[in-house]
Amino acid sequence: MASEFDLIDRYFKRKAPAGMLGVGDDCALFAVPAGMHVATSTDLLIEGRHFFADVDPRALGHKSLAVNVSDLAAMGAQPIGCLLGLALPQVREPWLAAFADGFHAMALAAGCPLIGGDTTGNPGGLAISVTVFGAVYPQAALRRDAARPGDDIWVSGVLGEADIAYRLLSGQMPADDALLARTRAALEWPQPRYALGQALAGLAHAAIDISDGLLQDLGHILRASGVGARLRMDDLPVSPALAGLPADRLRHAVLAGGDVYELCFTAPAAHGDAIRAAATHAGVAVSRIGVIDADEALVVLDADGAPLPDLPRGFDHFRST
Ligand code: ADP
Ligand code: MG
């Protein structure tokens, strides 16, 4: 059987970019341009909790890194590199090869090469920990506490697909192969908005990536900034893949559905044209969905301008109900 070191060499060691020391030594080494700060973040993915045990390993490799790159994007940081911690219940090389393929393809696309990690056995199940490093000018970083009254609120891409795919796969919605085919890629192959995030640095005020649901994640910005928000339900970019779903199901998916990895950000109204230009350049659609208020409340208005009652909340690991 292959040793731990053979596996690392075969599946995780890649030539490090010029000027960096990658996999193979006690530490990786990299530089940050003068005046920039290191942005770093880590995410833990646990079998049965964050992914289904039988998920396509290539998609899992992609998503493990994608959700971390998404955090860099939400800070406006430029990716530098990443570390991968793997706890494996058993060594299945075809599985590892596909996982590594998906991981390295995402790394290449985002310019976030794998430069180190740790690998261990774990009979208790598969666990994946990814840490990313990026660089950002501190004064341009898209912090959660930077939203200001009068800012426009924007969101990238479309909303709702991943939530519906998750409900179909977990049996919370009756099987519907056509609907699953239209929504599954959003859940398993999320596309982190790293080009948009970097373009927004210095242009937008606050940003967050939507991992737990639009209302919950926007709520983090509002609390950190001491402000409130008014959203217009009709301005939310509902995915066309969800056409025909009951209105309450759709509303819940759009307002509270997690695993989206689109950016929600706030910016001065005067920056509207520059934001649209940045989004076009990054190849991502953006929608203006509301405004930041001084009043610390979060309301969603219907087509008649009346606040929706009983707003759904997002996903919370530690909530008991
Ligand atoms: P150490 O004993 O110093 O922690 P290891 O034997 O754990 O070193 O790892 C050897 C090298 O392989 C290190 O450079 C480490 O960063 C890298 N490495 C180990 N596991 C992984 C992994 N899953 N992905 C990327 N690099 C890894
Ligand atoms: Mg180690």
User: 3-class DSSP state for residue 252?
Assistant: helix
Q: Quick check: is 95 in a domain?
A: yes
Nearest CA residue ID for atom 1, ligand 1: 26
3 pLDDT more than 90: no
State if residue 84 touches ligand 1 by the CB under 6 angstroms criterion: yes
Which range among 2-16, 102-116, 190-204, 235-249 shows the weakest confidence by mean pLDDT? 2-16
For residues 52 and 179, membership in a common domain is answered with no
Question: How many Cβ atoms sit within 10 Å of the Cβ of residue 217?
Answer: 22
Residues 160 and 284 in one domain: yes
Q: How far is CA 11 from the centre of its chain?
A: 25
Res. 2 pLDDT band, cuts 50 70 90: confident
C-alpha–C-alpha distance, residues 246 and 274, integer Å? 36
User: In terms of domains, do 91 and 25 share one?
Assistant: yes
Q: Locate 92 and state its tokens.
A: 């299945």
Ligand minimally distant from the alpha carbon of residue 27:
1
Per the prediction, the chain carries an average pLDDT of: 95
Contacts of 204 (CB under 8 A, 6+ apart): 76, 142, 154, 265, 266, 267, 271, 275
pLDDT in tens, 125-167: 999 999 999 999 999 999 999 999 999 999 999 999 999 999 9
Pair 114, 170 in one domain: no
> Who's near 305: CB < 8 A, 6+ residues apart?
none
Query: 272 in ligand 1 pocket by Cβ < 6 Å?
Result: no
Quick one: 82 and 169 in the same domain? no
- In this structure, which ligand is nearest to the CA of 82? 1
186 and 131, same domain (yes or no): no
Residue with tokens 């909340």: 313
Confidence at residue 313, expressed as pLDDT on a 0 to 100 scale: 72
Ligand 1 center to residue 6 CA distance, Å? 11
By alpha-carbon position, which residue is closest to atom 24 of ligand 1?
Answer: 117
* Final residue in a domain of this structure, among 67, 101, 136: 136
Q: So what's the pLDDT on residue 133?
A: 98
Domain assignment present for residue 316? The answer is no
pLDDT at position 317, please? 55
Q: Among 118, 126, 132, name the best residue to mutate to test ligand 1's pocket (greatest count of ligand atoms within 8 A of Cβ).
A: 118
Amino acid at 94: P
Pocket of ligand 1 contains residue 118 by CB under 6 Å: yes
Q: How far apart are CA 237 and CA 232, in angstroms?
A: 11
Residue 287 among known ligand-binding residues: no
**Is 310 one of the annotated binding-site residues?**
no
Ligand 1 in contact with 117 (CB < 6 A)?
A: yes
Q: Which domain CATH number covers 290? A: 3.90.650.10
Residue-wise pLDDT for 203-256, tens only, equals 999 999 999 999 999 999 999 999 999 999 999 999 999 999 999 999 999 999
> Is 223 in the same domain as 264?
yes
Whether residues 62 and 157 share a domain: the answer is: no
The DSSP symbol for 12 reads I
Name the domain count of the chain: 2
From residue 281, give the alpha-carbon distance in Å to each of 195, 277, 278, 285: 9, 6, 5, 10
- Residue 222: predicted pLDDT: 97
Ligand-binding annotation for 61, yes or no, is no
Residue 87 lies in a domain: yes
> Are 159 and 288 in the same domain?
yes
Indicate if ligand 1 lies below 6 Å from the C-beta of 227. no
With a 6 A CB cut-off, is 24 part of the ligand 1 pocket? yes
Please indicate, yes or no, if residue 317 is contained in any of the structural domains: no
Q: Do 18 and 128 belong together in one domain? A: yes
> H or E element: which one contains 74?
helix 57-75
Q: Is residue 271 part of a domain?
A: yes
User: At residue 312, does pLDDT exceed 90?
Assistant: no
Residue 320 in any domain: the answer is: no
Judge whether 117 lies within some domain. Answer: yes
Q: Give the burial string for 283-311 (b: 16+ CB within 10 Å, else e).
A: ebebbbbbbbbeeeebbbbeeeeeeeeee
Distance 59 CA to ligand 2 centre (A): 25
Determine if ligand 1 sits within 6 Å of the CB of residue 103: no
For helices 214-225 and 247-256, angle between their N-to-C axes, nearest 10 degrees: 40
Choice from 29, 119, 120 to test ligand 1 binding pocket (greatest atom count within 8 A of CB):
119
- Summarize the confidence of residues 292-304 as an average pLDDT: 94
Contact in structure between 7 and 92 (CB atoms under 8 Å): no
Ligand index nearest the alpha carbon of residue 4: 1
Are 187 and 284 part of one and the same domain?
A: yes
Residue 6: CB within 6 Å of ligand 1? Answer: no
**pTM beyond 0.75, yes or no:** yes
38 & 77 share domain: yes
Domain that holds residue 242: 151-301
Boundary-marking domain end, from 136, 168, 195: 136
Give a yes or no: residue 313 inside a domain.
no
Q: Give the rounded percent of residues in the chain with a pLDDT score beyond 90.
A: 93
pLDDT tier at 321, thresholds 50, 70, 90: very low
Tokens coding 251: 């509303």
Quick one: angle between helices 93-110 and 57-75, nearest 10? 30
Assess contact for 200 and 142: CB atoms under 8 A.
yes
Band (pLDDT 50/70/90 cuts) for residue 4 is confident
Shortest-distance Cα residue to atom 13 of ligand 1: 24
pLDDT band, residue 320 (cuts 50/70/90)? very low
Q: Where are any strands of DSSP class E within 47-151? A: 78-88, 114-121, 127-136
CATH label of the domain that carries residue 42: 3.30.1330.10
The predicted pLDDT at position 25 comes to 96
d(C-alpha 249, C-alpha 176), whole Å: 15
